Amino acid sequence: MTGSLACVGIGMTLGAHICPLSKSYIEQADVVFSGVSHGITEIWLQEMHPDVRSLQKYYQEGKNRQITYNEMVDAMMTEVRAGKRVVGAFYGHPGVFAQAPHKSIAMAKAEGFPARMVPGISAEDCLIADLGIDPGRFGCQQFEASQFMFYKRQYDPSCYLILWQIGLAGDKSLAKFSTGAAHRQVLVELLTEKYSLDHQVILYEAAVLPIDSVREEWISISDLIDADIHMHTTLVIPPSQKMKPNKKVLARLTEIEKNLSAVTKQ
């Protein structure tokens, strides 16, 4: 039997977000690897399949996360090469802030194995619903917090700015589970290039268990340094400026409409 790989998303909230297709892949697999954020979620997966193997064991404080991701890929691909139907079940969306699913699928395809990704409800989807944000209203830019700090990114304060994984902001080692106030001080100084210290921002955390509450904590940028922040905390920065009309483009479009109207009347 030819091995295969499917990396599926089970959503953010336990039992509430999984789609029928992801559930079917899990139930029909020979082996399921779980990349989930909570032990209860893993127990729930075990109720769907008798052979669920946790990928969380590869994480260790002080261990470079690239090594961890490679070990996860090796674990899944070993079973694929052995001819098994392998499923990687990941919380949220398996393609969002998750290197192992992307890398393992690419490797499986390169070796001639059937491989696919099944989307899931991500933290971004929950954030939009929980905070009532429409990305189309003002626009929305998103960055991983450390990448935002390490590189000169162009961002627009007239749209929403979302910084993911601010609990790890500034970690150059890729081996920490959290950074602290000194690292966030650097982030705050960077943000004050375009925002005032008293600009109100949101610390957001999605509900993982049905009994959990969504975290929507409004604080000022200056309070970010000493705030209670976890690995799964997301920073949402609402617009601080109004959108500026592009008068040159608007004038050109007006002229186009006039010309079209004149042609129609002829």
Q: What amino acid positions are annotated as catalytic residues?
A: 65, 69, 91
CA–CA gap between residue 217 and residue 202 (Å, rounded): 5
In angstroms, rounded to a whole number, what is the distance separating the alpha carbons of residues 187 and 41?
33
Q: Alpha-carbon dihedral of residues 189, 194, 197, 201, nearest 10 degrees?
A: -100
121 within 8 A of 134, measured Cβ to Cβ: no
Handedness of CA 156, 161, 163, 169 (dihedral sign): positive
Please provide residue 186's backbone torsions phi and psi, each rounded to the nearest 5 degrees: -65, -40
Asked if 86 and 5 count as a contact pair (C-beta separation under 8 A), the reply is yes
Residue spans of beta strands (DSSP E) within 43-95: 52-54, 85-90
Q: Which structure tokens are listed for 101?
A: 């699913």
Contact criterion met (CB below 8 Å) for 235 and 145? yes
- How far is C-alpha 229 from the chain's CA centre? 17
Residues 6+ apart with CB under 8 A from 2: 83, 113, 114
Rounded to the nearest 10 degrees, how much is the dihedral formed by the CA atoms of 138, 139, 144, 145?
-30
How far is 184 from 194, CA to CA, in rounded Å? 16
